[in-house]
Amino acid sequence: MTESSSKLWGGRFSEKTDLLLEKINSSLQYDKRMCQEDLQGSEAYARALQRANLLTKEEMEAIHKGLAQISKEWEKNTFKVKPMDEDIHTANERRLKELIGLPATKLHTGRSRNDQSNTDLRLWLRSRIGNLDKYLRQLVKEMVRRSTEEKDILMPGYTHLQRAQPVRWSHWLLSYAWSFKIDVDRLAQLYDRINVMTLGSGAIAGNPFPIDRQLLAKDLNFTDLSPNSMYAVGDRDFVAEFLFWASLTAVHLSRLAEDLILFSSQEFGFVKLADSFTTGSSLMPQKRNPDGLEILRGKAGRIFGHCTGFMMVLKGLPSTYNKDLQEDKEATFDTYDTMEDVLQLTEGLLSSLKVDKVRCTSALSPDMLATDIAYYLVRKGIPFREAHHLAGKVVAEAEKKNMSIMDLPLEELKTISATFEDDSKDIWHYENSVEQYQSTGGTSLSSIEQQTIELNKWLLIRTIN
């Protein structure tokens, strides 16, 4: 058999493929990860061919037996790749012919690698998204656990990286828990768009044989099937969506990591990372570097790089299938692997760190209660804009006298506004400050408890099988 005739497409070619093109064109080194999904699709397609009277029952059974043998070879790592194997589809079909002979040549009837590869990738991604769902839920569960157990710890809240208002440590934790909860919800929505069968679309025009695509979709556990063959073979929106989902989730992880890097520094000292998630310096023996957290930040860039790169692949393509789309798999596989690692790493980092209640509380300062002065005046009947202006005058007077705003005597406060009374001393309690935020989403104890109840209820609901 000549080199050209051994290829699925080699019949009309008389010259050998350029060696460099052969190298670049080959995708088996990475798409062999879809070996089982490719066999799964072929097994179902053989049944569809038999139902359409394009295979005899004996031929279908021979194909199924051969596919089962190939599956075992991949599992045992005994499958022998040959030079003419361009991709996983070619390799499996070539091996099937070696095992069962002529019936193998009928398996591709009406099928193209265009719809085959699209289907394989959907099957592969669909079967693994549940793992990412699980790891994200574990992370949220850990955040809820800590929020419940450490709800009494107060700390500064920050805007513009400047001390803003007192908040609960739990409130900070839950701010990320809600981000990850939405990431899980978004993943479930993406799952539905992945779970659409494109098999049966052929190369572009559809399948000319009486293949029951509805039954084929049911056989492969797809909940829907593509309505247009041209759209189906060129569609990689589900890949782009997955890469964007991963990028956004990785950004949330990166922001969490940045906060914890700051909080674990000696300047903050709010948390201490476990030794198992830090490394040392090759020169400075005293160092405990937050390399685990820094890796989380760095991986976000890697993942987003795949997203932007693949979007540029899609940007200039004409309709239907083009070989550029082969770039979908490396981006998808590496992104999935990276997300699987970083989600588990984050949960380990978070569950093992220690929060220092004393350092958190000692970082609170009276100037963070300046807004509470305005709120005090509002409760006395002063319009907020005027109250804000008067609170600013209190801050300015304290700075002028080089003293804390809480140390200004009542007489000084009354010179700014006669509304200040003896009860103004209640402003200077941090616990009172956080407890005033009773509305939904606030940092009061009741709000924290309500948030954890809602998240615990949500954790019981499975949206991805």
Catalytic residue positions, numbered: 160, 281
Tokens 């044989």 locate to 209
CA angle 136, 138, 140 (to 5 degrees): 70
Taking CB atoms within 8 Å and a gap of at least 24, the contacts of 144-151 are 144/174, 144/177, 144/452, 144/455, 144/456, 144/459, 146/170, 146/173, 146/350, 146/355, 147/173, 147/174, 147/177, 147/448, 147/451, 147/452, 148/452, 150/355, 150/357, 151/445, 151/448, 151/449
Phi-psi region of 232 (alpha: psi -120 to 50; beta: other; left: phi over 0): alpha
Q: Taking the CA atoms of the chain, what radius of gyration do you get in angstroms?
A: 31
Rounded CA gap, 427 and 404, in Å? 13
Residue 230 near residue 319 (C-beta atoms within 8 A): yes
Rounded CA gap, 137 and 140, in Å? 5
Q: What residues contact residue 242 under an 8 Å CB cut-off, 6+ apart?
A: 125, 190, 194, 332, 335
CA distances, 340 to each of 128, 187, 252, 260, 318 (Å): 10, 14, 15, 21, 33
End-to-end Cα distance, the chain: 46
DSSP string, 249-287: HHHHHHHHHHHHHHHTSTTT-SEE--GGG-B--SS-TT-
Residue 141 near residue 115 (C-beta atoms within 8 A): no
Residue 155 near residue 168 (C-beta atoms within 8 A): yes
Rounded CA gap, 66 and 447, in Å? 61
